[in-house]
Amino acid sequence: MRPEPAILQFGTSRFLLAHADLFVSEAMETHEALGTIAVVQTTSSPESAARITALGHTPRYPVRIRGQVNGEIIDEERVGTAIAEALTAATDWERIRALAVHVPVIISNTGDRGYDLDPSDDATLLTDIERLPKSFPAKLAVLLAHRFEQNPEAPLSLYPCELVPQNGSRLRTLIEQLAMEWELPAEFRIWLNETCHFANSLVDRIVAEPIAPVGAVAEPYALWAIEQQEGLVLPCRHPAITLTEDLDRFEMLKLHLLNLGHSVLAERWLKDKRRADETVREAMDDPAMRNALETVWTQEVLPVFEADGRGEEARAYLDTVRDRFLNPFLKHKLSDIAANHAEKKRRRFLPMVTRAADLGLAIAQPKLKAALASDD
């Protein structure tokens, strides 16, 4: 019989299956993992439900790694084995509450709107244990309040993987906000800051395709950069996990070169009403699309990195991004990238425009500014 899971995970995405969950699976083979994972479906998504059902039948799922590394073609299948339980918040809340009391690690990846609060989540959730909170921050606040009552001495490390700057600090602030609104005792807020370690982290791997009913196709490149913090307990040791004192360095490169590049392609895809199933690789093979993207990178973004003294590092990273965009195996659809496009543009484009102005750079940045001014 397998031991109780050591990691509680909110989110069933194919990304997590091919990223954190696969890292833990591979680390288990070398006895460098904290333990197994209990994964929780928090939404009503049919796709998430199908994955939970499949994982409930067998914890094993395939991850196909396809791409090119230093001229060598990579095309191999790995197997995820770390998921020990597959739960649904709507039906398994009691079990989730019990796990949350004892696990040393919580991971989340709840999507672009995952940190949105819901006004119907109120203090009655603390006593009405059968009522399920609607928002993820409220779910977590209820679970942490329960842990504070039942097991306050045990330290907890939390790893938000949402693509939000300073995601750990942001999530802790939301829990503190709810604690104030719900009039939780001051001791809880002290405990939250002293015993719970919210890690700021950055995840990076293109996971472009699902494998039904559960699994994923992913690129070889993978990174989980985690900001160093005293008391932090890692879910596992893995070559793709990097502890750093300078997380901003990783975030700036990914957000404003790779993610920005994706959104530049998505902007053109939306404006031109291009083919619904067009992929990143196909867009890169179109001279007009490729030239528009290269113009943004070289004339509107790289000068900002240069002015900040990081030009060489940015150009080197951009070389890896081009290789990843040209991966012949991944069917990374622009329609997927275009989801929540307006918010993505704000996060990915606006800081480059603002920083250029702050630095007094003589660059017009017409494409970034036009995209920000559009309604999409």
Residue 123 above 80 pLDDT? yes
CA-to-CA dists, residue 349 to 100, 111, 246, 306, 357, angstroms: 38, 19, 22, 17, 13
Distance separating alpha carbons of residues 160 and 40, to the nearest angstrom: 14
Asked if CATH classification 3.50.50.60 holds for the domain at 7-245, the reply, yes or no, is: no
Q: Say if CB 34 and CB 105 are below 8 A apart.
A: yes
Closest alpha carbon to 182 in 133, 113, 217: 133
**Would you say residue 18 has pLDDT above 80?**
yes
pLDDT at 240 over 80: yes
pLDDT digits 0-9 by tens, 191-237? 999 999 999 999 999 998 999 999 999 999 999 999 999 999 999 99
Residue 40 three-state SS: strand
Instruction: Check whether 108 has a pLDDT greater than 90.
Output: yes
The pLDDT value given to residue 376: 67
Torsion angle defined by CA atoms of residues 88, 12, 133 and 129, in that order, rounded to the nearest 10 degrees: 40
What average pLDDT does the structure give for the chain?
96
Distance CA 2, CA 36 (A): 9
At residue 69, the pLDDT reads 81
pLDDT at residue number 72 = 84
Q: DSSP string spanning 287-319?
A: HHHHHHHHHIIIIIIHHHHHHTT-HHHHHHHHH
pLDDT value of residue 2: 66
Q: What is the pLDDT of residue 132?
A: 97
Tokens of 346: 């704000």
Quote the pLDDT of residue 1.
Answer: 59
Of 1-10, 53-62, 141-150, 311-320, which range is least confident?
Answer: 1-10
pLDDT-based confidence at residue 165 (cuts at 50, 70, 90):
confident
Count the helix, strand and coil residues of the chain and give each as a percent rounded to the nearest 5.
Answer: 45, 20, 35
CATH superfamily of the 248-373 domain: N-(1-d-carboxylethyl)-l-norvaline Dehydrogenase; domain 2 (1.10.1040.10)
30 pLDDT above the threshold of 70: yes
pLDDT at 232: 98
The domain limits of the chain are 7-245, 248-373
Encode 258-297: b = buried (16+ Cβ within 10 Å), e = exposed: bbbbbbbbbbbbbeeebeeebbbbbbbeeeebbebbeebb
